[in-house]
Amino acid sequence: MNVTIHPGRLAGTVRAPASKSMAHRALIGAALADGLTTLHINALNADIEATIDALMALGAMIDYDPRKGLLIVRPIESAPGLKRTLTGLSGKAMSHVDYDEVLELDCGESGSTLRFLLPVACALGAKARFVGRGRLPERPNAALTKVLREHGASIDADALPMNVSGRVVGGAWALPGDVSSQYVTGLLFALPLLDDDSAIRLTTPLQSAGYVDMTLEALSDFGIRVDRVEGGYDIPGGQAYRSPEDVYVEGDWSAAAFWCAANALGADVDIEGVSRRSAQGDRAVADLLGRPEIDATDVPDLVPALAAVAAALPQRTVITGAKRLRLKESDRLSAVADMIASLGGTARATDDGLVIDGGPIRGGTVDGRNDHRIVMAASILATVADGPVTITDAEAVAKSYPDFFDHFRALGGRADV
């Protein structure tokens, strides 16, 4: 699907869609809990739906009421055909589920779904086949599969598709912190379910630390204890997830960042549903827009929105700390540089970031690269172009923000599909 954006100022009020990062975490906690949990959520997207489908494959029962904005989650132990052992030989609570057949967990294009649920499946002792689409089969998982194998899992590949069986045991887990914080999050969800205590130790500095902070907050909401220690985390075994009954999923700063970018380019958009006190690291967007030097180490998802603004400012902007963006839905560094160049700007990708010389933006065609954040960044930048901008692969917004173009039009934007 192509969309053509006509230049023009955006103005009005928009409500940010529910945070997919928080939704993933709340859904997993609810699926592992001791009773029914209701998630209050104002929107779904393809990534959230992938986690829902995968959890249902594991045995959770999840119903959605779109009119009320409710996800009703019945945990894995209550699903028919599954048996949960409530106590292990040590007398500690455990959550070993005996599955009679191989389950298929379709992660779609969601790296979070894969990296969060792979350790959980290994903690539950599930026999599972993980599959996915797009660039997800190309994205790295070797550091995570390595430690899972070291602790008793059988995993036949480091990339999708992969077949998993066996139940891991506790102990010491050594992981790099600079490849993906999702590895850490997945283990933090899984390790409390094991009989024995575990210790995660990071062999390199943790990047995207805000996402792990969100995980710790979600775990605390479900009664799980994790102790921060020098160089990592200590996780007592034998814990039980306790349902808080209701979870309110706040608005997504990663999505709101594009409306913040529009404001930096002259729009007047009032964004509802996000909080400056949020645990989401991307709340930093307002402080980073327009800066000539940006370290994106902890906020890589903001780079497309930040770059869209930088492309139109009469200054040089240098973005660093974003090497991991080469392994996203696209090579996001080259995709951003190409987006800017396609519209008459000057930008080049470096090893870990971008150098952007801003200036006037002209009309043209942008390759959306099947990347939701590239499509949205190009749409915002197009509002200040001197002519229409056509963006390919516009349907990619469904991954994180299906209503993006509806909201764009409601703010006065012209978007012809």
Instruction: Name the H helices within 222-371.
Output: 253-264, 285-288, 303-312, 332-342
Residues 28, 190 contacting (CB under 8 angstroms): no
Written as one letter, the residue type at 168 is V
Q: pLDDT at position 99, please?
A: 62
What is the C-alpha to C-alpha distance for residues 84 and 98, in angstroms, rounded to an integer? 7
Q: Give exposure, 216-233, as e/b (b: 16+ Cβ within 10 Å).
A: bebbebbbbebeeeeebb
Please pick, among 301, 338, 371, 393, the residue that the annotation labels catalytic. Answer: 301
pLDDT tens by residue, the chain, 417 residues: 999 999 999 999 999 999 999 999 999 999 999 999 999 999 999 999 999 999 999 999 999 999 999 999 999 974 433 444 333 323 333 344 456 689 999 999 999 999 999 999 999 999 999 999 999 999 889 999 999 999 999 999 999 999 999 999 999 999 999 888 999 999 999 999 999 999 999 999 998 899 999 999 999 999 999 999 999 999 999 999 999 999 999 999 999 999 999 999 999 999 999 999 999 999 999 999 999 999 999 999 999 999 999 999 999 999 999 998 887 777 999 999 999 999 999 999 999 999 999 999 999 999 999 999 999 999 999 999 999 999 999 999 999 999 999 999 999 999 998
Q: Look at residue 63 and give its three-state secondary structure.
A: strand
What is the C-alpha to C-alpha distance for residues 352 and 354, in angstroms, rounded to an integer? 7
Q: pLDDT at position 378, please?
A: 98
Boundaries of every domain in the chain:
3-16+252-416, 20-235
Q: pLDDT at position 90, please?
A: 33
Q: pLDDT at position 328, please?
A: 74
Q: pLDDT at position 326, please?
A: 82
Task: Please tell me if the domain spanning 3-16+252-416 has the same topology as the one spanning 20-235.
Answer: yes
We find that the CATH architecture of domain 3-16+252-416 is: Alpha-beta prism (3.65)
Return the CATH number of the domain spanning residue range 20-235. 3.65.10.10
Q: How far is CA 377 from the centre of its chain?
A: 17
Q: Quick one: which of 101, 123, 13, 110 has its CA closest to 52?
A: 110
Sheet holding 246-248, edge to edge: 61-65, 70-74, 37-40, 246-248
Tokens of 288: 């980073």
Written as one letter, the residue type at 131 is V
Q: pLDDT at position 179, please?
A: 86
Judge residue 272's burial from the number of C-beta atoms within 10 Å of its C-beta, 0-12 exposed, 13-18 middle, 19 or more buried: exposed
The backbone region for 282, taken as left when phi is positive above 0, alpha when psi lies in -120 to 50, beta otherwise, is alpha
What is the C-alpha to C-alpha distance for residues 21 and 18, in angstroms, rounded to an integer? 9
For residue 90, count other CB atoms closer than 10 A to its CB: 11
Please indicate whether residue 301 is annotated as part of the active site.
yes
Instruction: Name the H helices within 233-392.
Output: 253-264, 285-288, 303-312, 332-342, 372-382
